[in-house]
Amino acid sequence: MTHASVGPEERILITGAAGFIGSRVVSEMLRAGHTNLRLFVRPSSNLARVKSVIEAFPEARVEVLSGNLLSRDDCAKAAGGAAVIVHLAASSEKTFAGSYMSCVVSTRNLLDAAVQAGCLRRFVNVSSFAVYSNAKLPHNGLLDESCELDSHVLDRFEAYAYAKLKQEKLVEQYGREFQLPYVHVRPGAVYGPGAPHLSGRIGIDTFGVFMHLGGSNQLPLTYVDNCARAIVLAGITPGVDGEAFNVVDDDLPSSGRFLRMYKKQGKKLRSIRVPYWVFYSFSWAWEKYSRSSEGQLPAAFNRNRCATYWKGNRYSNQKIKDRLGWRQVVPFPEAARRYFDYVRTASL
């Protein structure tokens, strides 16, 4: 591991610690030698996975704090004494209002608590590839940290992407106004045991048939353990404040290859391949009808969203290698084997 900007005994707060990625971040942080952790979880969280992690490190001081980030009091309890905050907590809300509350309002409460505590040295904001625009990139163009964020994200009719972009802007505002040190981490499509559904970048499961929209596009996959390692490094590596890091693995498969592997090694799936230009035309027609109906039919399918996910790009992880010293821990063949074993078992 890279030399840490915080000592092994200094407190690190991890929100969303019981989640799919969060429990792996807890494990990676403990493996890195940071043994004073506070884990913030929802009252309804299943703690089995994170408890098994804690039990493997009996010498560590790990506090599990249950609460709601929409409560300013709960945020104050969570942020008190924390030198690093790894903010993973997110919601599966589908509405714009719900996503805004769970991503933006909760993050504001946590940031206010951190400012009030006055001891924070790094706020790790775990964001998403969804904040990017590829409007100016050609097919197969390289999407990396230098690419612009989506200034027309509302046109995508995608609440999660809108909220994540607002969340990033809020963190940057606190960085300017309160000199709060932060780092953005933007994972690609995270997969692994515990995530049974195929990434939307491969296609859409609808009406009992999976529409394969990704074709031969490269998938921005990151196996959950590899992603967790990058998040930990973003929290403890000195000299990277104010930067953003994309997280994708080295050996990225195409959408078509991954889907074939899923159907052969994971579980059977009826699929139909839909060419990009066909779905783009369908999205244009859907948009047009949405406008003519004055929004009675929401623009759930639109050209902006179609391009973002299925136009086709290449992806780079060079920055996390150069600046964070990240290396892929689990190579694709082993990661795929673990994932498909889980999918096959979960579907029985």
Give the CATH number for residue 53: 3.40.50.720
DSSP 268-337: ---EEE--HHHHHHHHHHHHHHHHHTTTSS---S-HHHHHHHHS-EEE--HHHHHHH----SS-HHHHHH
Burial class (CB in 10 A: 0-12, 13-18, 19+), 53: buried
Domains contained in the chain, number: 1
- DSSP tag of 182: E
Nearest alpha carbon to residue 242 among 143, 315, 142, 168: 168
In a domain, 68, yes or no: yes
Q: Contact 161/153 with Cβ under 8 angstroms?
A: yes
Please compute Rg for the chain using Cα positions: 20
pTM of whole model > 0.75?
Answer: yes
Angle at 320 between CA 319 and CA 321, to 5 degrees: 90
Greatest CA separation for the chain: 64
In a domain, 201, yes or no: no
Structure tokens at 118: 């006055």
In a domain, 258, yes or no: no
In a domain, 303, yes or no: no
Check residue 2 and give its pLDDT: 41
Check residue 207 and give its pLDDT: 75
In a domain, 104, yes or no: yes
In a domain, 268, yes or no: no
Could you read off the pLDDT of 146-177 as tens digits, one per residue?
Answer: 999 999 998 899 999 999 999 999 999 999 99
Domain that holds residue 155: 12-196+221-251+314-330
User: Which residue ranges of the chain lie beneath pLDDT 70?
Assistant: 1-4, 347-348
Angle at 243 between CA 316 and CA 246, to 5 degrees: 25
Please name every residue paired with 15 in a beta bridge, in sequence order, or none if there are none: 40, 87
